[in-house]
Chain A
Amino acid sequence: MGLIRDLAIQGVQMLLVLALAPLLTGWVRKVKARLTRRRGPPLLQPYRDLWRLMRKEVVLAENASWLFRAAPYLIFAATWVAAALAPTFATGLMFSWSADLIAITALLGSARFFLALAGMDVGTSFGGIGSSREVMIASLAEPAMIMIVFSLALLAHSTQLSTIAAYTLSSNVGLRVTLAMALVAILMVAVAENGRIPIDNPSTHLELTMVHEAMILEYSGRHLAVLELANFLKLLLYVSLIACVFVPWGLAPVGSGALAALIGLGAYVGKLAVGGVLLGVFETSLAKMRVFRVPDYLGAALMLGLLGALLLFVSRGGLR
Chain B
Amino acid sequence: MMAAPAISLLLACVGGLLALGLGAIGLAAIGLARRPRTGALIYAASGIVSLIAAAVALNALLSAGPPALATLPLGLPWVGARFRLDALAAAFLLVVDLGGAVASLYAIGYGAHEREPQRILPFYPVFLAAMNLVVLADDAFGFLVAWEVMSISSWALVLAHHKDPANRRAAHLYLVMASFGALCLLLGFGLLAGPGGGYGFDAMRGHPPAAGVAGLVFGLTILGAGSKAGLVPLHVWLPQAHPAAPSHVSALMSGVMTKVAIYAFIRIVFDLLGPPQVWWSVVALLLGAFTAVLGVLYAMMQTDLKRLLAYSTVENVGVIFIGLGLALAFKAENLALAAALAATAALFHVLNHSLFKSLLFMGSGAVQGATGERDLERLGGLIGRMPQTAFAFLVGAMAIAALPPLNGFASEWLTFQAVLVSPLLGTTALKFLVPAVGAMLALAAALTAAAMVRAFGVGFLGRPRSPAAQAARETDRWSRAAMFVLVGLCLAVGVLPGLVIDALSPVAQAMTAGRMPVQAGQAWLSIVPIAESRSSYNGLLVLVFIAASAGLAALAIHRFASRAVRRAPAWDCGFPDPSPLTQYSAGGFAQPIRRVFGGFAFAARDVVDMPGPGELRPARFTAIVRDRIWETLYVPIELAIGYAADRLNRLQFLTIRLYLGLVFLALVGLLLVLAIWV
Interface residue ranges, A against B (CB under 8 Å)? 51, 54-63, 65-67, 73-74, 76-78, 80-81, 84, 95, 97-100, 102-103, 106-107, 109-110, 112-113, 116-117, 119-129, 131-133, 135-136, 138-143, 146-147, 150, 153-154, 157-160, 163, 207, 217-218, 221-222, 225-226, 291-292, 295, 302, 305-306, 309-310, 312-314, 316-320
Contact A99 B537 (CB under 8 A): yes
CA distance A68 to B230 in the complex (A): 37
CA distance A218 to B462 in the complex (A): 12
Q: Of residues 403 to 426 in B, which have CB atoms within 8 Å of A's CB atoms?
A: 403-404, 409, 413, 416-417, 419-424
Task: Give chain B nearest CB distance to A135 CB in angstroms.
Answer: 4
A-side contacts of B596, CB under 8 Å: 136, 139-140, 292, 295
Task: Given the known inter-chain contacts A61-B569, A150-B438, please indicate yes or no for A143 contacting B564, CB distance below 8 A.
Answer: no
Q: What per-residue 1/0 map shows which CB atoms of B522-558 lie under 8 Å from chain A?
A: 0010100000111111100110011111110110010
Task: Given the known inter-chain contacts A54-B557, A313-B434, please indicate yes or no for A131 contacting B545, CB distance below 8 A.
Answer: no
Task: Given the known inter-chain contacts A62-B568, A292-B595, A295-B596, please indicate yes or no for A103 contacting B457, CB distance below 8 A.
Answer: no
CA distance A59 to B68 in the complex (A): 65
A-side contacts of B387, CB under 8 Å: 66
Q: List 28 A-B contacts (CB under 8 A).
A: A51-B561, A55-B561, A59-B566, A62-B567, A66-B383, A102-B413, A103-B404, A103-B542, A107-B404, A109-B446, A113-B449, A113-B452, A121-B457, A122-B462, A123-B463, A125-B582, A125-B584, A126-B573, A131-B589, A135-B453, A150-B438, A160-B534, A226-B557, A292-B595, A305-B439, A306-B439, A314-B431, A318-B423
Contact A157 B534 (CB under 8 A): yes
- Checking A55, A57, A103, A319 against B424 with a beta-carbon cut-off of 8 angstroms, the contacting residue is A319
Task: Give chain B nearest CB distance to A232 CB in angstroms.
Answer: 14
Contact B403 A110 (CB under 8 A): yes
Contact A59 B435 (CB under 8 A): no
Contact B383 A65 (CB under 8 A): yes
CA distance A60 to B571 in the complex (A): 9
B-side contacts of A107, CB under 8 Å: 404, 542
- Checking B432, B562, B577 against A310 with a beta-carbon cut-off of 8 angstroms, the contacting residue is B432
Closest residue of chain A to B397, judged by CB? Answer: A113
Residue in B398, B420, B435 with the greatest tally of chain A CB atoms within 10 Å: B435
B-side contacts of A320, CB under 8 Å: 424
Contact A313 B443 (CB under 8 A): no
Interface residues on B, range: 35 or more
A-side contacts of B417, CB under 8 Å: 159
Contact A57 B562 (CB under 8 A): yes
Contact B461 A120 (CB under 8 A): yes
CA distance A221 to B583 in the complex (A): 24
B-side contacts of A61, CB under 8 Å: 567-571
- Checking A57, A226, A302 against B565 with a beta-carbon cut-off of 8 angstroms, the contacting residue is A57
- Checking A109, A125, A146 against B449 with a beta-carbon cut-off of 8 angstroms, the contacting residue is A109
Task: Give chain B nearest CB distance to A38 CB in angstroms.
Answer: 26
Residue in A77, A305, A317 with the greatest tally of chain B CB atoms within 10 Å: A77
Q: Besides A74-B546, A97-B536, A141-B446, 16 other CB < 8 A contacts?
A: A57-B565, A58-B562, A61-B571, A74-B550, A78-B546, A81-B545, A81-B546, A98-B537, A117-B456, A123-B570, A131-B453, A138-B449, A140-B446, A158-B535, A207-B573, A225-B557
Residue in A106, A107, A160 with the greatest tally of chain B CB atoms within 10 Å: A106
Contact B450 A136 (CB under 8 A): yes
B-side contacts of A112, CB under 8 Å: 449
CA distance A124 to B457 in the complex (A): 12
Q: What's the dominant secondary structure at chain A's contact region?
A: helix
Contact B550 A138 (CB under 8 A): no
Contact A138 B384 (CB under 8 A): no
Q: What per-residue 1/0 map shows which CB atoms of B262-300 lie under 8 Å from chain A?
A: 000000000000000000000000000000000000000
CA distance A124 to B588 in the complex (A): 13
Task: Given the known inter-chain contacts A150-B438, A313-B434, A314-B431, please indicate yes or no for A59 contacting B582, CB distance below 8 A.
Answer: no
CA distance A24 to B447 in the complex (A): 32
Contact B569 A132 (CB under 8 A): no
B-side contacts of A305, CB under 8 Å: 439
B-side contacts of A73, CB under 8 Å: 550-551, 553-554
CA distance A318 to B418 in the complex (A): 13
CA distance A314 to B7 in the complex (A): 48
Q: Does B402 contact A (CB under 8 A)?
A: yes
B-side contacts of A123, CB under 8 Å: 380-381, 461-463, 570, 580, 583
Closest residue of chain B to A95, judged by CB? Answer: B541
Task: Give chain B nearest CB distance to A166 CB in angstroms.
Answer: 9
Q: Does B203 contact A (CB under 8 A)?
A: no
Contact A317 B424 (CB under 8 A): yes
Task: Given the known inter-chain contacts A316-B423, A319-B420, please indicate yes or no for A120 contacting B584, CB distance below 8 A.
Answer: yes
Q: Does B638 contact A (CB under 8 A)?
A: no
Q: Does B401 contact A (CB under 8 A)?
A: yes
Task: Given the known inter-chain contacts A59-B566, A61-B568, A139-B446, please indicate yes or no for A120 contacting B593, CB distance below 8 A.
Answer: no
Q: Does B591 contact A (CB under 8 A)?
A: yes
B-side contacts of A313, CB under 8 Å: 422-423, 431-432, 434-435
Task: Give chain B nearest CB distance to A214 CB in angstroms.
Answer: 9
Contact B589 A113 (CB under 8 A): no
Contact A154 B420 (CB under 8 A): yes
CA distance A291 to B595 in the complex (A): 11
Task: Given the known inter-chain contacts A113-B453, A136-B450, please indicate yes or no for A153 contacting B567, CB distance below 8 A.
Answer: no
Nearest 4 pairs between A and B by C-beta?
A: A318-B423, A128-B584, A123-B462, A57-B564
CA distance A73 to B537 in the complex (A): 23
Contact B535 A160 (CB under 8 A): yes
Q: Of residues 448 to 507 in B, which have CB atoms within 8 Å of A's CB atoms?
A: 449-450, 452-454, 456-458, 461-463
CA distance A51 to B582 in the complex (A): 35
Closest residue of chain B to A146, judged by CB? Answer: B442
Contact A218 B570 (CB under 8 A): yes
Q: Does B77 contact A (CB under 8 A)?
A: no
Closest residue of chain A to B582, judged by CB? Answer: A125
B-side contacts of A159, CB under 8 Å: 417, 420, 534-535
Contact B592 A132 (CB under 8 A): yes
- Checking A58, A62, A117 against B461 with a beta-carbon cut-off of 8 angstroms, the contacting residue is A117
- Checking A80, A142, A292, A319 against B442 with a beta-carbon cut-off of 8 angstroms, the contacting residue is A142
Residue in B387, B547, B564, B582 with the greatest tally of chain A CB atoms within 10 Å: B564
Closest residue of chain B to A229, judged by CB? Answer: B553
CA distance A74 to B553 in the complex (A): 10
Task: Give chain A nearest CB distance to B637 CB in angstroms.
Answer: 33
A-side contacts of B646, CB under 8 Å: none
- Checking A78, A95, A143, A150 against B419 with a beta-carbon cut-off of 8 angstroms, the contacting residue is A150
CA distance A160 to B535 in the complex (A): 6
Contact A222 B562 (CB under 8 A): yes
Task: Given the known inter-chain contacts A63-B384, A160-B536, please indicate yes or no for A58 contacting B566, CB distance below 8 A.
Answer: yes
CA distance A294 to B461 in the complex (A): 27
B-side contacts of A318, CB under 8 Å: 421-424
CA distance A120 to B460 in the complex (A): 10
Task: Given the known inter-chain contacts A57-B562, A73-B554, A140-B446, please indicate yes or no for A125 contacting B583, CB distance below 8 A.
Answer: yes
Closest residue of chain B to A292, judged by CB? Answer: B595
Contact A143 B583 (CB under 8 A): no
CA distance A60 to B557 in the complex (A): 17
Q: Does B76 contact A (CB under 8 A)?
A: no
- Checking A99, A136, A221 against B592 with a beta-carbon cut-off of 8 angstroms, the contacting residue is A136
- Checking A106, A119, A133, A146 against B409 with a beta-carbon cut-off of 8 angstroms, the contacting residue is A106
Closest residue of chain A to B545, judged by CB? Answer: A81
Contact A139 B447 (CB under 8 A): yes
Contact A150 B420 (CB under 8 A): yes
- Checking B453, B537, B589 against A100 with a beta-carbon cut-off of 8 angstroms, the contacting residue is B537
Contact B536 A60 (CB under 8 A): no
A-side contacts of B447, CB under 8 Å: 139
Contact B423 A319 (CB under 8 A): yes
Q: Does B576 contact A (CB under 8 A)?
A: yes
B-side contacts of A222, CB under 8 Å: 557, 561-562
Task: Give chain B nearest CB distance to A252 CB in angstroms.
Answer: 18
CA distance A111 to B293 in the complex (A): 23
A-side contacts of B524, CB under 8 Å: 98
